[in-house]
Amino acid sequence: MSAWDENRPIFRRLPQYGWQDNEIADAITSAYDQILMELQQEILNFPTNFIDPDTARADALDWLAQLCGYTGEYWDASWTESVKRQLIKDHQMVWANKGTQYLLEYLLNLFGLSDTKIRVRGAWRAGVNKPGDAIGGELLHYSVVIGSPTSVGYQRGGAEWRLIDRLRRLYMPAWCDSIPEGNRYLHYHRFRAGRSAAGDPL
């Protein structure tokens, strides 16, 4: 049995005769042996506690996110633990699909912003339409439409509104621009007095 198996990595390495049967040597090394055993457990559990997004400690998620490419505006320490874990788990999918409508819809759903949809206006979309399809009509653009504001959320300028706008700006589809000036890229489904702003679609 090794010194580590006996939980005495220092004491059991002392000379067998004269030291391992010495109470003073036992007392002196006991505290250090305990420290080393705790450090060994931390090292052995490092992948579980810090690397695996399913089991990582909550206080390690912000650090782990940086290793997955989420820095600056792409991360917020105030997000919920479940959102953080899912974003870290899906980081390869997120970066591979950045600039697609699919990813923007995925993120809106992940953050619980399900009362939103992406409205695309225009006649042709790269990656959607096939060569030879008709090209024409108005310029290609999109907007994020919020279904119905309530007294507790989705208020213009509120936390949900700002989060939707942030996700739209960071992950917007690369194949078109946000709705041009004169209209709004983020608006309610219908014009609402006291909530909608001048220039919002009717």
- The string of DSSP letters for the chain reads --TTTTT-TTGGGS-TTTTTT-HHHHHHHHHHHHHHHHHHHHHHTHIIIII-TTTS-GGGHHHHHHHTT--GGG--TTS-HHHHHHHHHTHHHHHHTTTSHHHHHHHHHHTT--SEEEEEESS--TTTSPTTS---SSPPEEEEEE----SSS--TTSHHHHHHHHHHHHH--TTSEEPPTTS-SEEESS--TTTS-TT---
Looking at residue 8, its pLDDT comes to 81
Residue 66 lies in a domain: no
Q: Tell me, yes or no, whether 152 lies in a domain.
A: yes
Q: Is residue 32 part of a domain?
A: yes
In 10 A of CB 116, how many CB atoms? 21
For 28-47, how does the pLDDT look when each residue is reduced to its tens digit (9 = 90+)? 888 888 888 888 888 877 88
Clarify whether residues 36 and 101 are in a common domain.
Answer: no
* Boundaries of domain holding 38: 11-44
Same domain? 103 vs 25: no
- Please indicate, yes or no, whether residues 102 and 168 belong to a single structural domain of this protein: yes
Q: Is 109 within the bounds of a domain?
A: yes
- pLDDT in the model for residue 77: 96
Cα(88)–Cα(67) distance, rounded to whole angstroms? Answer: 9
Residue 181 has pLDDT above 50, yes or no: no
Q: Is 72 left (phi over 0), alpha (psi -120 to 50) or beta?
A: left
Confidence of residue 150 (pLDDT cuts 50, 70, 90): low
Residue 126 forms part of a structural domain: yes
What is the pLDDT, as a whole number, of residue 71? 94
Does residue 193 belong to any structural domain of this protein? Answer: no
Residue 2: inside a domain, yes or no?
no
Answer whether residue 71 is part of any domain: no
101 and 184: one domain?
A: yes
Please name the residue that has the structure tokens 């959607």.
Answer: 128
> How many domains would you assign to the chain?
2
The answer, as to whether pTM is greater than 0.75, is no
- Asked whether residue 33 falls in the same domain as residue 104, the answer is no
For the record, the structure tokens of 179 come out as 């709705």
Report residue 177's pLDDT band, with 50, 70 and 90 as the boundaries. Answer: low
Please state the φ and ψ torsions of residue 78, each to the nearest 5 degrees.
Answer: -85, -5
- Together in a domain, 181 and 110: yes
